[in-house]
Amino acid sequence: MALIILMLALQFYGVPHSSMFTFIFSGVSFEEILSRQIHLPILWVSYLIIPNFIILDAQRILSKTHLIQLRGFQYSHLQFELISLMGTLFITIIYVLFSFTWIIALMKMTHAQIFSFAGLKEMSSYFLFFLMILIGLICLVLIQATLNLFNSVLGIILPFSWIIFTSFTVWKFNPLNGLMLLRYSSYNTIQTFIFCFIIIIVLTTTFLTVVRKKDFI
């Protein structure tokens, strides 16, 4: 993703009214879908799914590989899963922080437009969009981590399917709508935060409940 962003930056070098944010996060508007001008936003899909592919089923593999050592150090399965979950969330935060910093730095170096597009007019708007992308990715990672407790294949299929579903539907209550600049609005911002926090709470509770039950068994 860093290389793709760099190549985009080189293409727009010296163009004052270009924006890599638009190319990566624009997505598909509701109007395009309703008028059947549908296309798959490859960069947007790739950006969102990369953390899931980085993590895959690493938790399950680590648990099986180091089970004896964990028991020897008196770590419970719950403690291990919590540490692994915090590790995956840390990776997600670093991924979003690095990519946003990288994009803004390259746009500064190439003299591209930074603070005026798709409703993002100032730094505070960028920070809000950064938070939206972050909690959206945390939701996707939590879905994967929870499903990995049952089936690692479902853990990668469901988040990917949700992203694709978002690209081709106009369902207004989809939390991922707020992660597209063409659907970016104050309404979608509030909706995204509320729904994502509800999903995070539900998934975290489910994750802990399942792990505790397995640990008890």
Cα 77 to Cα 73: distance, rounded to the nearest angstrom: 12
Residue 113 above 60 pLDDT? no
What's residue 117's pLDDT? Answer: 47
pLDDT in tens, 144-185: 988 888 888 888 899 999 999 999 988 888 889 889 888 877
Assigned token pair, 69? 């050592």
What's this model's pTM, rounded to 2 decimal places? 0.84
Mean pLDDT for 47-54 is 90
pLDDT averaged over the chain?
80
What ranges do the domains of the chain cover? 2-216
Share of the chain above pLDDT 70, in %: 77
Looking at residue 158, its pLDDT comes to 92
Matching residue, tokens 């591209």: 112
CA distance 205 to 166: 25
Q: Are 181 and 117 in contact (CB under 8 A)?
A: yes
